[in-house]
Amino acid sequence: MPSPVSLNLNYVAPFVADHEWEQLCPAVSRAHHLLHARTGQGADFLGWMDVLEKGNQEEITRIEKTAARIREYADAFIVIGIGGSSLGAKAVISGLSHSFHSSLHMQKKNSPDVFFLGEHFGSDYTCELLEALEGKNVYVNVISKSGTTTEPAIAFRIVKTWMEHTYGKEEAKKRIIATTDREKGALKTMANAEGYETFVVPDDVGGRYSVLTPVGLLPIAAAGISIRDLIAGAEEARLDYTEERLNHNQAYQYAAFRYLMYQKGKQIEMLSVYEPKLADFGEWWKQLYGESEGKDGKGLFPASAVFTTDLHSMGQYIQEGRRHLFETVLFIGKSGNEIQIPRGDEDGLDFLTGEYLDAINKKAFQATLLAHTDGAVPNVILEMEQLDAFSMGALMYFFEKACAISGYLLGVNPFDQPGVESYKQNMYALLGKPGHEQRRIALEERLNEWR
Active site residues: 291, 424
Give the number of other CB atoms < 10 A from CB of residue 448: 8
Collect all residues with Cβ–Cβ distance below 8 Å to 288 and sequence separation of at least 6: 208, 209, 399, 400, 403
CA 177, 278, 294 angle in degrees (round to 5)?
80
Cβ-based neighbours of 250, under 8 Å, separated by 6 or more: 3, 5, 6, 7, 240, 241, 398
Rg (CA), the chain: 23
The answer to whether 391 and 281 are in contact (CB under 8 A) is: no
Q: CB–CB of 159/78 below 8 Å?
A: yes
Rounded CA separation 233/228 (Å): 9
Go through the chain and tell me how many residues it has. 451
The set of residues, in sequence order, having a beta carbon less than 8 Å from that of 149 and lying 6+ positions away, is 82
Which residues are within 8 A (CB) of 423 and not within 5 positions of it... i.e. 6 or more apart?
A: none
Q: Which of 83, 220, 76, 219 is nearest to 151 (CA)?
A: 83
d(CA 69, CA 208): 27
**268-273/325-334 β-pairing:** parallel
Query: Strand pairing partners for 293?
Result: none
* Calpha distance 315→244 (Å, rounded): 37
